[in-house]
A = this chain, B = another copy of it.
Amino acid sequence: MVSQRLKKDLEFIVELDKMKSIFRRTSVIGEDRQEDDAQHSWHISVMAMILSEYANENIDTCKVIKMLLTHDLVELYAGDTFCYDIVGNMDKRDREVKAADKLYGMLEEDKGKELRALWDEFEEQKTPESKFAASMDRLQPMLSNYNNNGGTWKKYNVAKEDIYKRISPVKEASNELWEFVEYMLEDAYNRGLINH
C-alpha spacing A39/B66, complex, angstroms: 16
Q: Is the CB of A66 within 8 A of B49?
A: yes
Residues of B within 8 A of A12 (CB): 50
Residues of B within 8 A of A3 (CB): 176
Q: Is the CB of A39 within 8 A of B13?
A: no
Q: Which listed residue (B1, B19, B115) contacts A42, Cβ 8 A?
A: B19
Q: Which listed residue (B1, B143, B179, B183) contacts A179, Cβ 8 A?
A: B1
Q: Which listed residue (B1, B43, B66, B177) contacts A65, Cβ 8 A?
A: B66
Q: Is A86 an interface residue (CB 8 A)?
A: no
Q: Is A99 an interface residue (CB 8 A)?
A: no
Instruction: Give the total of A residues in contact with B, Cβ under 8 Å.
Output: 48
A2 to chain B, nearest CB (A): 5
Q: Is the CB of B38 within 8 A of A31?
A: no
Identical copies of this chain, number: 2
A60 to chain B, nearest CB (A): 9
For A45, the closest partner residue in chain B by CB is B69
Q: Is the CB of A45 within 8 A of B47?
A: no
Q: Is A28 an interface residue (CB 8 A)?
A: yes
Q: Which of A31, A42, A65, A111 has the most CB of B within 10 A?
A: A42
Q: Is the CB of B43 within 8 A of A180?
A: no
A24 to chain B, nearest CB (A): 11
Q: Is A144 an interface residue (CB 8 A)?
A: yes
Q: Is A130 an interface residue (CB 8 A)?
A: no
Contact with B along A26-60 (1 / 0, CB 8 A): 00110100011011011101110111001000000
* 16 examples of A-B residue contacts, CB within 8 angstroms: A3-B176, A9-B50, A13-B47, A13-B51, A14-B147, A16-B43, A17-B29, A17-B144, A19-B42, A21-B31, A38-B43, A39-B42, A42-B45, A45-B45, A46-B70, A62-B62
Question: Given A2-B179, A20-B28, A41-B42, 10 other A-B contacts at CB below 8 A?
Answer: A2-B176, A2-B180, A10-B143, A19-B43, A21-B28, A39-B39, A42-B45, A49-B70, A61-B62, A65-B69
